[in-house]
Chains A and B, each alone.
Chain A
Amino acid sequence: MTIETETEDTDNVNIFEVSDVNVYYGDFRAIRDVSIDIEANEITAFIGPSGCGKTTMLRSFNRMNDLIPTARVTGELKYRGVSLYDKRVDPVEVRRRIGMVFQKPNPFPKSVYDNVAYGPRIAGNVSKGAEMDDLVESSLRKAALWDEVKDRLKSSALGMSGGQQQRLCIARAIATNPDVVLMDEPCSALDPIATGRIEELMAQLKDEYSIVIVTHNMQQAARVSDKTAFFSVEVSEESDLRTGILVEFGSTDLMFSNPTDERTENYVTGRFG
């Protein structure tokens, strides 16, 4: 398969190639003409004010927008060279390779163990018993949660703190051994200590996974990401409709120190948004 040959050179492989993508909810255009290339084994941050379409863009990467009946995607959105919105593509298979961590921790109302084991179990490629136990342990270790939960794997995930729940959701997402992990404001419901832990975690995970993170927190984007994309809202003068656009995309250092677009500069310096 082409995937194998492409991944050999890990420095400059594009995991997503987005060109002229528009996402509509019914007649409403949520994002307009976004073109962006996202590299493998990097952390890419999407920043921007509320309503700028960064979450919409993120949810297009694993076809989560399919769950909204009126959502429609036009343009070309390629994952490792394969068009994601091709008719032959199975969204279930897409989501196995492209995992997701949501804004609010949403563990299943099951035990800690079953939360992590669920994805591999339904994928059917890990057998019960020792093999699954190992996978659960390694996923929880990667999510820096193992030491806290190893004695209560059988107790409910809902009894954990918010930060622990979110790390469990990360463990759940990486248990299926995905290629990419999408994170939609993963720390917005967490305190600074839990946030710090998740940021450390992301830095460790990027060796194995590509990460795209949506965040409202500019310091967070500056701290953790390699590349930053700044989205903004364009308000139509005639109809007052708001559409998300990609303003600028580049290395995080440049975006925060010397952005080319004035709108980016205003946003990152806190004069707008």
Chain B
Amino acid sequence: MALSTLNSGAEYAKEKVAADLQGKSFDFAGAVFRLSLLTGLAFGILILGAVMWDVLGDGTGFLFDRGWDFITGNAKSRSDEYGIFEGLRGTFWIGVFVVVFSFPIGIGAAIYLEEYAPDNRVTRFIELNIRNLAGVPSVVYGVLGLAIFVRALDGFYPNSLDKHLGSTTAAAGATLAILVLPIVIITSAEAIRAVPQALREGGFGVGATKWEVIRHHVLPYAAPGIFTGTLLSLARALGEAAPLILVGGVLGSLGPKSSLFELEQLGERFTAMPLMITQLAKKPAFVGDWNSATAAAILVLLVVVIFANLVAILLRNHFEKKRSN
């Protein structure tokens, strides 16, 4: 054959082939690209590390000194008596509102958009707008909350005092629930869209109804993605300060202390962790140790947010494991 005569030629002598195959040339462009990626990563980690170092350095000692008092105490005017309970309580209730309202409404909207809505211009227009809403600055949601939940629903809350209008825990929770709603819808819709069509067809093929296909196949498959997305949006809500300022959060002590789970506080004025941190950071550095108190409060908020993320990861792993065996 023609090939074998070629093979025996000098062109294909073993030494020549070895030289061709083994003579590695250095991929310069590839190395530069890789190095620049690494620089970006290192830069990000460095900044994060610096912030953590600063906060941990300032806050840990203070947190250990004050201990449980710092968590359960009220906002006082002295740094060594200051406690963040009121902020934690507000943040807790904001979380409850997000979980109770945003999650079911958002996941429901996502299921409708992906599984039921016809693929036409109206649907695509709605989807586009939800995406845009997710990018609207949080301050704008604060204005929305002020107009709807504070002004329009004033007097709806039984305990609200006239001079405070409706600046209540409920109004704050509702505002942040609406803030994260588009994010919940988008991430859930994306998780549902990633469910293979073959899985749906398998369900329909053995005579499952649409509801059964969604309940037994689509949602279990999409669950890891839905949980990751929704819980990350919860973390986002817990860290927001700007909308809460507009809704009328208190930048100071709320006065008498009510316990964590008392429902009456929904109609009372509120504060939250991000507001407390804003307030603490503005205190003068030369009276008392406000610097350390600020860092300690940031640490507590970080722990809360990391806890939410941890729950997200655990739930995702749980459902992924369930999916694969």
Contacts and interface: CB of A to CB of B under 8 A. Distances in A.
Contact of B203 (A108, A169, A173, A175): A108
B167 to A, nearest CB: 47
Contacts of B212: 122
B221 A109 contact: yes
B198 A92 contact: no
B55 to A, nearest CB: 42
A106 B200 CA distance: 9
A100 B47 CA distance: 57
Contact of A108 (B119, B199, B204, B207): B199
B209 interface: yes
Given A69-B118, A122-B212, A155-B325, A106 B206 contact: no
Interface residues of A, number: 30
B65 interface: no
B95 to A, nearest CB: 31
Interface in A140-180: 155-156, 158-159, 169, 172-173, 175-176
Residue of A100, A109, A159 contacting most chain B CB atoms (<10 Å): A109
- If over half of B's interface residues share one DSSP class (helix, strand or loop), that class is named, otherwise mixed; here it is helix
7 contacts: A64-B204, A67-B200, A69-B119, A96-B207, A119-B207, A122-B208, A156-B324
B204 A67 contact: yes
B288 interface: no
A137 B216 CA distance: 23
A123 interface: yes
B323 interface: yes
A106 B198 contact: yes
Contacts of A92: 207-209
B118 A173 contact: no
Contacts of B119: 69
B202 A107 contact: yes
Contact of A106 (B201, B207, B209, B324): B201
A118 B60 CA distance: 55
B325 A106 contact: no
Interface in A55-111: 62, 64, 67, 69, 92-93, 95-96, 99-100, 102, 104, 106-109, 111
B204 A106 contact: no
A231 B137 CA distance: 58
Interface string A115-146: 00011001100000000000000000000000
A95 B202 contact: no
Residue of A106, A119, A169, A176 contacting most chain B CB atoms (<10 Å): A106
B217 interface: yes
A64 B206 CA distance: 11
Given A64-B204, A109-B324, A173-B205, 8 more contacts: A95-B205, A106-B199, A108-B203, A109-B323, A111-B325, A118-B206, A118-B216, A173-B206
A111 B324 CA distance: 9
B325 A156 contact: yes
Contacts of A106: 196, 198-199, 201-202
Interface string B185-204: 00000000000101111111
Contacts of B206: 95-96, 99, 118-119, 122, 172-173, 175-176
Contacts of A122: 206-209, 212, 216
Nearest to A155: B325
Interface string B19-49: 0000000000000000000000000000000
Nearest to B200: A67
| Smallest CB-CB A-B distances: 10 pairs | A96-B207, A119-B206, A106-B198, A100-B205, A156-B325, A106-B202, A95-B207, A109-B323, A92-B209, A122-B212
B325 A102 contact: no
Contacts of B325: 111, 155-156, 158-159
Nearest to A115: B202
Given A69-B118, A155-B325, A102 B201 contact: yes
B207 A123 contact: yes
B204 to A, nearest CB: 6
A158 B221 CA distance: 14
